[in-house]
Structures are given as C-alpha cells and as structure tokens.
Structure 1
C-alpha cells in the first residue's frame, strides 16, 4: 500500500490499530481459550493431568494464531461497514478509539467462539498439546470452520468476504 490517497481513511487507521494489537490480543486469546476449556470441560476445576497442563501452559509461539487473527480482523472491518471517520468529542484520537473498539470486539468474539468445543480443542491442539509430528494446518482449519459457521461469513483472499452456508445437517 505505497500509494495511499487518503491517509486519514478509517480503514488505514483501523488496520494499523489491529496490526499493533496483534501480539497482546493473541496472548489474550490464549487466556480466553484456557478459561473456555475450564468452563466447557472442567467447570468444577477438579485437578487432573490435562487440566494442570492447560492451567500451567505459557505460550511463546503466537504465530499459529496469525491466520485466525487476520480472519477475525477482516470480519470486524466487514461488520462495522462504513469507512467514514466519526466526530470524537472526548479529545481522544481515532487510533485510540479503534484500539479500544477492536480490543473489546476481539475479546467478545473469542469468548463467543470459546463456547464451541471444536474451537477450544483446536486451539489447545495448536498450543498446549502441540507436537512436532502433528500437522498444525488441520487444527487451524477446524478453527477457521468454527469461525465461518459462527459468523456465517467466509473470508476469501481474492474474492473478499461472502456469506457462508454450513454443509453440516
């Protein structure tokens, strides 16, 4: 994007805010996934080996969530729709407002997704239970399908975002 015609276009500011928040929100995603695991699979938090592995896990590699993050960022930009900057009367910048709005939306999205068993299992397979012999693409694809079914939207690289019809019964 070297030829930006409108440097104060909402989409440029929002994309920059989303890019800057990537690492912190991916860490937050892992914490939300852990909470989702306990809510769905171990609500009483009874100690067992699996629960202890999940509880004690500290992630260092967040790049496994890059595609997921980009999909959620695209869906957010699609859902908010317009590209007009709004008037802010509180003295904050548009960048600060979009950082706040995007952070809240991302956390809400991931909390909704963490009510789905497939999403939680795929996220844990990518992080806590990751092993070198397993292909991470399979877990990433399960996460994408859970997102597409939840939002009823599908993100295509060249066609953009379109309505998604689930193939399951």
Structure 2
C-alpha cells in the first residue's frame, strides 16, 4: 500500500512513503496506547480502575478512525523535514528501507509521546471513544489536525503543507 498524496512539491521519497504505509496500522495502535497512557498520567495518576477506565481500555481502538488521516499528515511532516536523506549512502550495511523504517519509528515515538500530552489531541480521542456515536467525527479529526499542525508551526491548504511565518 503506497501513500499517493503529495503534501509538498518535493514529496517524492517513495521508499519512505512505502515504509510509512507498511507500518501504519501498528503505529496507529501505538499512538492510541500512548494517548491512553497520557490520559492515565494526567487524570488517573493513582491507577484506579473504575467503569469509565474499563470502558476506555476496551474501546480505545475505536479512536483509530480519528488518527488515520492525521498519521498521514504526521508522516508527510517527517518526509518534509527529512527530504535530504534520499541519496544517503548506508555505511552500516542496512538497506535504505531498513534505515528509513528505523529512523521513522524512532522519530514517530518521540513525536507521539509529546503529541499525546496535548489536551486538544487527547480529548477528542477520549470523547469519541466513550460516546461511540452522535459525535461529529469529522470535526474531531479536524480539531486533532489543527493541533498537530500548530504544534509543528505548519498550516495546510488544499492538501499542501506550509510553514507558518513568524
């Protein structure tokens, strides 16, 4: 599965795109777990297990729907920030795919640890998970996207990333 969108004019690292697409499902699950952990640290530091916490643990996988498109944006931000690595020579014997996979996952883990602490990213997931239906999921997806882009100082118009000028 190859991500076809181009989020910026030089978005042509197809090997990195394919690595990111291949890892997507597992990394989305990891992001949901990180959000759950961040929620526990902030709102349940004693680790008490009540009906709400049990429900949240059982249904956290439903939040994946809100993160799928936002994962693609996060992946594009990484490709944008690491656009110079396409012609890199691998001196350690790894293939480009292995190096891209390792580097992407390392940065992704750092980013989701920080992003999961942001209440504008954490709360929409929790709200969507516990309410299941009746919530405008498009609004929540966009809310997460706005927070994600603001964190990196970016804007998006017509599926194109732009750096916000200070």
TM-score, normalising length: structure 2? 0.83
Count of residue pairs the alignment pairs up: 158
Instruction: Tell me which residue corresponds to 1:105.
Output: 107
Matches within 5 A, 1:1-169: 11-57=13-59, 59=61, 62-126=64-128, 128-158=129-159, 160-164=160-164
Query: Could you say if the C-alpha distance between residues 114 and 60 of structure 1 is closer, same or farther in structure 2, counting changes exceeding 3 Å?
Result: closer
Q: Secondary structure at the match of 1:82?
A: helix
Deviation at 1:72, TM superposition (A): 0.2
1:135 deviates by 1.3
Greater RCO (Cα-Cα under 8 Å, separation 6 or more): 2
Q: 1:76 to 1:91 in 2, by over 3 A?
A: same
What is the deviation of 1:151?
Answer: 0.7
Measure the CA separation in 2 of the matches of 1:10 and 1:96: 18
Contact 1:10 1:83 in 2 (8 A): no
SS at match of 2:161: strand
Give the SS at the match of 1:43: coil
- List alignment gaps of at least 5 residues for structure 1: 3-8
Which protein has the bigger helix share? 2
Give 1:90 shift. Answer: 1.8
Return the alpha-carbon distance in structure 1 between the equivalents of residues 44 and 63 of structure 2.
Answer: 25
Structure 1 runs (4+) greater than 6 angstroms displaced = none
TM-score under structure 1 length normalisation: 0.81
State the superposition RMSD in angstroms: 2.6
Which 5+ residue runs of structure 2 have no aligned equivalent?
A: 5-10
Give me the whole-angstrom Cα distance separating, in 2, the residues matched to 1:94 and 1:130.
43
Larger displacement relative to structure 2 (133-142 or 69-78) = 133-142
